[in-house]
Amino acid sequence: MASLTGQTALVTGASSGIGKAIALAMAAAGANVGINYIAGDDVVEQMVHDIESSGGRAIPLKADVSREDEVLAMFRKLIGAFGTVDILASNAGIQKDSPFANMTLAQWNAVLNVNLTGAFLCAREAVKEFLRRGVVKERSLAAGKIIFTSSVHEVIPWAGHANYATSKGGLAMLMKTIAQELASEKIRINSIGPGAIKTPINRKAWETPEAADALRRLIPSGRIGEPKDIASAAVWLASDESDYINGTTIFVDGGMLLYPGFRTGG
Ligand code: NAD
């Protein structure tokens, strides 16, 4: 695995699913980890314990990423503990699904606030620290790296999920715009676009054999993804091994974006 030794990573939405796997993988790669979460004190306590037992360093950072005051306090605590931040894995996300005509403003705002505004707030605070500190050659070629957890739905329209798909489409443009703006400062910003990964957010899509079969039909590789499929890509994107990758989304989707319906149709 690529090395992140001596670097400090903040992972948001890290008490379950993809974020948990990213936090543990970054710790295993040698990073100090700030574990952001909104629920699951016991899970995070265990994660900190496991990371420290393996010789790593981690701190819990309870904060709602959609609230500016909580994000600012989280960064102060992280930088107070580890001195700086080198990597942001902005991963927290939610769904509030509804047929479009019935979608409430509350459902719309909730998803946009966490998935897009939360990413903006965390990225802005990370970038401030990257710019303040600049490159430390012994740690990384970059002044900082941001990895957004986006989705195949930054590209694939998704009926019944207008708020979610819009948030991920917006995230793609946020990622590209700030990558363009900050590349000259040696800051790299990319997204990972997961396909269907087995986590609590999409439990209904895989928990029964019938649902899992229907889901697998959308995945040319024939298997539902695991959080570790995303975590290994995140560690690589955070490392100097991907130093020339900037402003792009890497889809980790078992080929979902190959439009499998066209294998036999069309
Ligand atoms: P998950 O529900 O296990 O993880 C989401 C995490 O975000 C949870 O731990 C939740 O507590 C946290 N969270 C929610 N609101 C928050 C807030 N306001 N502040 C801080 N944390 C908050 O599901 P997951 O699949 O691991 O989702 C992680 C990311 O992956 C999300 O951005 C999701 O959109 C994206 N994603 C998931 C899939 C998939 O198939 N599972 C596919 C594409 C994209």
Contacts of 249 (CB under 8 A, 6+ apart): 150, 154, 172, 175, 190, 191, 192, 193
What pLDDT is attached to residue 2? 80
Ligand 1 center from residue 265 Cα (angstroms): 33
Q: Is the dihedral of CA 196, 201, 204, 209 positive or negative?
A: positive
Q: Which of 258, 249, 250, 251 is closest to 217 using CA atoms?
A: 258
Ligand 1 center from residue 94 Cα (angstroms): 6
What domains lie within the chain, and their CATH numbers? 8-264 (3.40.50.720)
Protein residue with least CA distance to atom 39, ligand 1: 197
Ligand 1 center from residue 92 Cα (angstroms): 5
Ligand 1 center from residue 117 Cα (angstroms): 14
What pLDDT is attached to residue 100? 98
Q: Are 149 and 19 in contact (CB under 8 A)?
A: yes
The whole-angstrom separation of Cα 125 and Cα 88 is 10
pLDDT > 90? residue 265? no
Beta strand pairing status for 249-252 and 144-149?
A: unpaired
Q: Which of 74, 65, 88, 71 is closest to 190 using CA atoms?
A: 88
In ligand 1, which atom is closest to the CA atom of 94? 14
Q: Are 59 and 37 in contact (CB under 8 A)?
A: no
**Three-class DSSP labels, 31-86:** CEEEEEECCCHHHHHHHHHHHHHCCCCEEEEECCCCCHHHHHHHHHHHHHHHCCCC
Mutate to test the pocket of ligand 1, among 61, 201, 256 (most ligand atoms within 8 A of CB): 201
Q: Does 164 qualify as catalytic in the annotation?
A: yes
pLDDT > 80? residue 258? yes
pLDDT tens digits along 99-137:
999 999 999 999 999 999 999 999 999 999 999 999 999
Catalytic residue among 37, 164, 244, 259: 164
Mutate to test the pocket of ligand 1, among 199, 204, 251 (most ligand atoms within 8 A of CB): 199
What pLDDT is attached to residue 241? 97
What pLDDT is attached to residue 195? 98
CB count, 10 Å around CB of 165? 20
The CA-based angle 215-220-223, given to 5 degrees, is 55
What pLDDT is attached to residue 1? 73
> Which residues contact ligand 1 via a Cβ below 6 A?
12-13, 15-19, 36-39, 64-66, 91-94, 114, 118, 149, 151, 194, 196-197, 199-202
What pLDDT is attached to residue 266? 78
What pLDDT is attached to residue 83? 98
pLDDT tens digits along 72-100:
999 999 999 999 999 999 999 999 999 99
pLDDT tens digits along 199-227:
999 999 999 999 999 999 999 999 999 99
Q: Is 10 helix (H, G, I), strand (E, B) or coil?
A: strand
In ligand 1, which atom is closest to the CA atom of 194? 43
Q: Are 49 and 42 in contact (CB under 8 A)?
A: no
Mean pLDDT of 224-239: 98
What pLDDT is attached to residue 21? 98
Q: List, in sequence order, every beta strand (DSSP E) within the chain.
A: 8-11, 32-37, 58-62, 87-90, 144-149, 187-194, 249-252
What pLDDT is attached to residue 110? 98
**pTM for this predicted structure:** 0.98
CB count, 10 Å around CB of 175? 25
- The tokens of 158 are what? 């998704």
Protein residue with least CA distance to atom 34, ligand 1: 93
Ligand 1 center from residue 107 Cα (angstroms): 16
pLDDT tens digits along 150-189:
999 999 999 999 999 999 999 999 999 999 999 999 999 9
